[in-house]
Structure 1
Amino acid sequence: MGWEYKTVLMVGCTAGLGVAMAERMIEAGSFVIAVGRRKERLDAFLEKHGGDKVAVEQFDITDIEAVKGWAEGIVKAHPRLDCVVLNAGIQRPCNFARPEAIDVDLVRKEIDTNYTSYIALTAAFLPHLQALSRKGRGAALVAVSSGLALVPLPRCANYCATKAALHALVWSIRAQLRADEKSQGVKVIEVVPPAVQTELHELQEDMRAAGLANIGITIEEFMKDCWPGLENGDEEILIGPIRENFGTLEDGRRKAFARFVSTVPK
């Protein structure tokens, strides 16, 4: 099938998986709109690849009320946008055995970054992607979740909950668009990575103290699974250890979900 999307919005494109996916898409001929909060990293990305291949957008996706207007500006500036990749995420410890240490403001920030912003961004960009679909053009929405959506890890309870919510949301969005004749051309893809050696862990004090700042597979190993899945048009891309250890874990849930979809009113 091959990678077919020509203009890609990459949310969370200042480090880690976002940069790796974006650079591979550039190699495949895509123009990438790199989105993130850290201007110096966006500027470095633009300098590395050049304005003929990259545009940069400094934006905080947790400013939920600003998302709709910002997205409208993106579509106006880049009307050929045909793929939106939602990749931003933060992870922090959340231990209910020490409830006095739980920072509710940080919990909310984690929810907004990992989940609420994905809803806002999806709602904001889908009308454009649906319009492309009605014109017979391919379009895609890609969400990066986590293997912790399938099996949670107690140390980062809230992070796991946000990713589990995102995982369920992606299943539902995919089914809704598939059931709508005017939206069937919009492919909904979920990338489900294991722990990967990125800033996600390096930024957490307890992970550094435990010597786990570099836990996980390398970004190169992530891309060895991720990119073929994206090229093949797979709807759910389980990466490395997640595929090997949990690849059949949700078979029963998928069957139950299919029954729901076929029998329960949309």
Structure 2
Amino acid sequence: MSAFEFNTILIIGATSGIGWALAERFVTEGRQVIISGRRQERLDEFTSKYPGVKSYVFDCTETGTIHRFASTVATENPTLDCVILNAGKQRGFNFARPETVDLSIIDDEVLTNYTSQLHLTQAFLPYLLKKEKASLVYTTSGLAMVPLGRCPNYCATKAALHHFCISLRAHLKDTSVRVIEIMPPAVQTELHDEKYQPDIKNGAALGMPLQAFVDETWEDLVKGQEHDEYPIGMAKHWYNQIEPVRHEAGKILPMTPANVDV
């Protein structure tokens, strides 16, 4: 697949971690960047550092606001040609002790990591499909391929999003919209913060350094990849072991969308 050729990029979930770092990289590469997230103070911090960046306060879990958000962003930024869906939460569970499993946290994790991403996809596609070239970029995880026992729901939501990307790519293959999937390993971000996952100590030091992750991600996006799937760091090893088999198996099943009418 061709190189990353998009110029006006919205990053949803850009107030910390991977989203923040990708936004910085796109700015330094001369792209027009739009950021969104829940924390106004973090958006203000970013736009103070990079005055050309526009920002929107937005919480993807408030699904009733998604269509209004998409309409506002697309109308105010008519050159928008790339939407990066980057929101994510990870929590630990032990189902051998079911009394400790808070189902409201399970539901919130599913909503943040998966359901809201489908809502956003459906909301932005009418605008992106009108473009000569456009893309939807999803941040999944290496754990979409190989689950980690301590965070089963996170792994399941990322696996669901990975499979959705595969199907969506088939749905859009004859359109102008590319479906790009970034599959990070563990990266040194707030995702593993002890505040959210108290059983992890010094979580901020867990995984691949954030700058190294961003550098490799940008390098791979520029080079392009046949399936538009970009495993990074140690996720490449899992990908090379697992996904080629899936690519072959996937040729057996029909990938045409359902025949539906409005």
TM-score normalized by the length of structure 1: 0.91
**Deviation string, structure 1 residues 210-262 (Cα, Å, up to 9, x no partner):** 44442101012212320012212330101011113442312111111122136
> Contact 2:145–2:238 (CA<8 Å) still a contact in 1?
no
Shift of 1:2: 5.0
Matches of residues 71-90 of structure 1 in structure 2 within 5 Å?
Answer: 71-90=70-89
Give the SS at the match of 1:80. Answer: coil
Q: How does 1:1-266 map to 2 (within 5 A)?
A: 3-50=4-51, 53-132=52-131, 137-178=132-173, 181=174, 183=175, 185-202=176-193, 203-208=195-200, 210-234=201-225, 235-261=228-254
Offset at residue 264 of structure 1 (A): 9.1
Indicate the RMSD between aligned Cα atoms, in angstroms: 1.7
The superposition leaves residues 13-50 of structure 1 with CA deviations (integer Å, 9 ceiling, x where unpaired) of 00111011111111111111111001100000000000
Say whether the 8 Å CA contact 1:201–1:207 is kept in structure 2.
no
Runs of 4+ off more than 3 Å: 210-213, 261-266
SS in 1 for 2:23: helix
Give me the whole-angstrom Cα distance separating, in 1, the residues matched to 2:93 and 2:251.
34
Instruction: Look up the equivalent residue of 1:76 and give its one-letter code.
Output: T
Amino acid at match of 2:64: E
More helix by share: 1
- Extract unaligned runs of 5+ from structure 1: none
Question: Would you say the 8 A contact 1:150–1:164 is kept in 2?
Answer: yes
Structure 2: unaligned runs, 5 residues or longer: none
Taking the aligned partners of 1:123 and 1:6, their CA distance within structure 2 comes to 21
SS of the residue 1:261 aligns to: coil
Indicate how the Cα distance of structure 1 residues 35 and 254 shifts in structure 2: closer, same or farther if over 3 A, else same: same
Q: How far has the Cα of 1:77 moved from its partner?
A: 0.7
> Residue 259 of structure 1 aligns to a residue in which SS?
coil
Q: 1:213/1:84 Cα in 2 relative to 1: closer, same or farther (>3 Å)? A: same
CA deviations on 1:180-232 (whole Å, 9 max, x unpaired) are: x3x1x211100001000100001334344x44442101012212320012212
Structure 2: distance between partners of 1:91 and 1:222: 19
3-state SS, counterpart of residue 56 of structure 1: strand
